[in-house]
Amino acid sequence: MKKLFLTLLLGTVLLSPVLVLAQTLPQATSCDAYCKNMNGLSFPDEGTCICNPITADSFEGIIGGIIDFIFKIALFLVPLMVIWGGVLFVTAGGNPENIKKAQKIIFWSLIGFVVILLARGLSDLLEEILGI
């Protein structure tokens, strides 16, 4: 508990100069300018701006965004599942039932990743063929 507290305290002390020395951004003249380039402009003075969170202009763009989101989640989860299967394998203690469980976790996480890769590749191939 002390190590966690000291780590958080040290992180806060090290990050505070970064936060204090942050530069101010140029002021946006309208909500449209603010929404188009949020990273380079600060909030306009004219009131509340509600920007459209969907940046896609077409149905294909929305589907592509969903596929990219699922692919990024898979890229995050597959290594975690393989590590979890490895931990179960190491801690099985020679129990054949636990070893089989660990092998199944690793096997099916890799199969799932291959399916996600093939789906991503197939969607990219179809876009290339159809010219979308």
Q: Which alpha helices (DSSP H) does 1-132 contain, by range?
A: 2-20, 31-36, 59-90, 96-130
* Mean per-residue pLDDT, 59-78: 86
Instruction: Tell whether 76 and 123 lie within a shared domain.
Output: yes
- Structural domain contains residue 3: no
Q: Is residue 28 part of a domain?
A: yes
Residues 65 and 44 in one domain: no
- Same domain assignment for residues 67 and 32: no
Mean pLDDT throughout 74-93?
Answer: 92
pLDDT, tens only, 7-65: 655 556 555 555 554 544 455 555 666 566 655 555 556 566 676 677 777 887 888 78
pLDDT at 77: 92
Residue identified by tokens 């890229």 is 75
- Kindly state whether residues 81 and 113 are assigned to the same domain: yes
65 and 120 assigned to the same domain: yes
Residue-level pLDDT at 89: 92
Q: Please say which residue of 53, 74, 91 terminates a domain.
A: 53
Is 37 contained in some domain?
Answer: yes
Among residues of the chain, what percentage have pLDDT more than 90? 26
Please say if the pLDDT value at position 6 is more than 80.
no
| The predicted structure's pLDDT at residue 65 | 83
What is the overall mean pLDDT for the chain? 76
Among candidates 97, 119, 100, which has minimal Cα distance to 108?
100
Total domains in the fold of the chain: 2
Does 6 fall in a domain?
no
